[in-house]
Chains A and B, each alone.
Chain A
Amino acid sequence: MNQQNARTRRAGATGVKALIGAAAVAATIAGWALLPANDPPTSAAAAGATGGPTELNVPGTTATNPFGGNSDTQTQVQPQTNPTQPQFSTPRGFGRQAQPFTRSHSSR
């Protein structure tokens, strides 16, 4: 599968309010600019610690903003008898007939 996503980085974050710490702003701006790499990233990149700002314009606003398994062997055991208690399980690797390891959906 072609997973080579180009990363685009642009510098130039400006207009940060004085009330917001400059260092923290820089850290976040860096995170917003990095294309999520579907090639192996470093853990620092995964944590949004690299990259530069890109431009964001939200209509109707005044700011110009920087934005930058399932188991194939069926050995997974995930008891869910009490969802409030931590549950451990150890699934095997993903197979060619991949099912989702986990899911994204609206907050629930």
Chain B
Amino acid sequence: MIEQTVPRPAQIQQLAFRAMGSQILAAIDGDETEGTALLAQVPAWFEEWEQSLSRFRDDSELSRINRTAGSAAPVPVSDTFWAVLQQALQAAQHTGGLVTPTVLNALEAAGYRTSFDTLRHAAHGVATPTGTGPVAAPPSIFTRWREIELHPETQSVRLPAGVRLDFGGTAKGWAVDEALRRLAPHGPALVNAGGDIAVSGPTRDGAGWPIGVDAPLGLELATDSQLELLDIRGGGVATSGRDYRRWQQNGTWQHHIIDPRSGVPADTDVLAATVIGPTASDAEIAAKVALLLGGAEGLRWLEAQPGLAGLLVLETGQVTRSRRFADYVWSSEHGT
């Protein structure tokens, strides 16, 4: 349908800041005064969550819990930690262990020991961690998430010996969804943390939020860096890629997406996977699954998930899309 009238301009407040090693954007389409005041709280939310969930802070709750691995007694945890750990274990359950929080030892063995912000030194995010060559993590990380004990009656956790957690994208997806949950009662809202996005609904004008899908870094395009423009009116969008958080260790390229089946950075023909899902968390987990499965299997898997749509960029430059993806592409005949 061709738009017939010029829409009333919406007053969309937005706030950009940096947290969790990523650029954060929060936006709300509501009363300007209320929106500004509400958005001003968002950085504190992320700071609180990062202090609980970051593996890069020695005094974080996650670092403290990781140091208790192998202890006999469960350790009480905060509401945030509890929620994210449950979500991470549910992801492991639902993906058969492909997405698991038990990858920290493998990440460190691959050289990812400090925050990427501190590692990168070049325009394309190439980092060169110090240390010895890659050491394969025990393949048991594929299954050891099953040994993590949760004690709901005391909201406490016990990690088995040798198991250390990294929430990674799971924490970011959870934070995006949680921030959106808090903003949404005050007006249509959007939150983006490093490319993981959640949208509460259309803007007050009834329009979808135009969300670009960037081409992976290093992919040569004829015109610009945008692969698609999406029309998102609710739910989540996330991209998992090995194009940015990568580094060389002893002459070998490494990246941050560990394949739990091998215990080392995933050997996949997918450079980046973008998924649209019910929430940012769902999209983030599914994007990682699609990347780990590889181009052909990842696309078949996406097609089999009625709640997901996705786009895969292969290292050859080929771009493939699931059938449902077309439902979300911004149309030039878009009616607001």
Residue B90 CB within 8 A of the other chain = yes
A1–B15 contact, CB under 8 A? no
Residue B104 CB within 8 A of the other chain = no
A106–B8 contact, CB under 8 A? no
B8–A70 contact, CB under 8 A? no
Residue B258 CB within 8 A of the other chain = no
Once A41-B201, A46-B279, A102-B212 are accepted as A-B contacts, the answer to whether A65 and B335 lie under 8 Å apart by CB is no
CB neighbours (8 Å) of A100 from chain B are 210-212, 226, 229
User: How many chain B residues touch the partner (CB < 8 A)?
Assistant: 123
- Within A14-47, which residues are at the interface with B (CB < 8 Å)? 15-17, 19-21, 24-25, 28-29, 31-43, 45-47
Task: Tell me which of A17, A29, A43, A103 contacts B201 (CB under 8 A).
Answer: A43
Q: Compute how far the CA of A29 lies from the CA of B180 in the bound complex, rounded to whole angstroms.
A: 19
Q: Compute how far the CA of A88 lies from the CA of B86 in the bound complex, rounded to whole angstroms.
A: 34
Task: Tell me which of B16, B22, B83 contacts A87 (CB under 8 A).
Answer: B16
- Within A81-108, which residues are at the interface with B (CB < 8 Å)? 83-96, 98-108
| Chain B facing A: main interface SS | mixed
B177–A103 contact, CB under 8 A? no
B98–A93 contact, CB under 8 A? no
CB neighbours (8 Å) of A54 from chain B are 305-307
Task: Tell me which of B98, B149, B177 contacts A48 (CB under 8 A).
Answer: B177
CB neighbours (8 Å) of B184 from chain A are 43, 46-47
Q: Compute how far the CA of A21 lies from the CA of B86 in the bound complex, rounded to whole angstroms.
A: 8
How far apart are B309's CB and chain A's nearest CB, in angstroms?
A: 8
Task: Tell me which of B43, B93, B213, B226 contacts A16 (CB under 8 A).
Answer: B93
B149–A3 contact, CB under 8 A? no
Q: Compute how far the CA of A85 lies from the CA of B43 in the bound complex, rounded to whole angstroms.
A: 9
A103–B211 contact, CB under 8 A? yes
CB neighbours (8 Å) of B202 from chain A are 40
CB neighbours (8 Å) of B40 from chain A are 86
Name, among A45, A95, A98, the residue most crowded by chain B CB atoms within 10 Å (CB to CB): A98
A68–B305 contact, CB under 8 A? yes
Q: Compute how far the CA of A29 lies from the CA of B196 in the bound complex, rounded to whole angstroms.
A: 20
Q: Compute how far the CA of A21 lies from the CA of B150 in the bound complex, rounded to whole angstroms.
A: 8
How far apart are A27's CB and chain B's nearest CB, in angstroms?
A: 9
Q: Compute how far the CA of A29 lies from the CA of B207 in the bound complex, rounded to whole angstroms.
A: 29
Task: Tell me which of A15, A32, A87, A91 contacts B278 (CB under 8 A).
Answer: A32
- Within B304-336, which residues are at the interface with A (CB < 8 Å)? 304-309, 324, 327-328, 330-336
How far apart are B263's CB and chain A's nearest CB, in angstroms?
A: 14
CB neighbours (8 Å) of B39 from chain A are 88
CB neighbours (8 Å) of B196 from chain A are 104, 107
> Can you name the residue of chain B whose Cβ is closest to the Cβ of A35?
B307
> Can you name the residue of chain B whose Cβ is closest to the Cβ of A61?
B96
How far apart are A18's CB and chain B's nearest CB, in angstroms?
A: 9
How far apart are B155's CB and chain A's nearest CB, in angstroms?
A: 10
Name, among A21, A28, A63, A102, the residue most crowded by chain B CB atoms within 10 Å (CB to CB): A102
A residues bordering B, Cβ < 8 Å? 1-3, 5-6, 8, 15-17, 19-21, 24-25, 28-29, 31-43, 45-48, 51, 54-63, 65-70, 72-73, 78, 80, 83-96, 98-108
A-B interface, 7 closest residue pairs, ranked by CB to CB distance from nearest: A61-B96, A36-B235, A106-B241, A100-B212, A68-B307, A43-B184, A41-B234
Given A36-B328, A41-B234, A63-B94, 11 other A-B contacts at CB below 8 A? A31-B278, A36-B277, A38-B327, A47-B180, A62-B96, A83-B18, A91-B12, A96-B332, A103-B195, A104-B211, A108-B244
* 19 A-B residue pairings within 8 Å (CB atoms): A1-B1, A3-B208, A32-B94, A33-B278, A38-B231, A38-B233, A39-B233, A40-B202, A46-B234, A47-B184, A56-B95, A69-B210, A89-B14, A92-B11, A93-B203, A95-B6, A101-B190, A105-B272, A108-B245
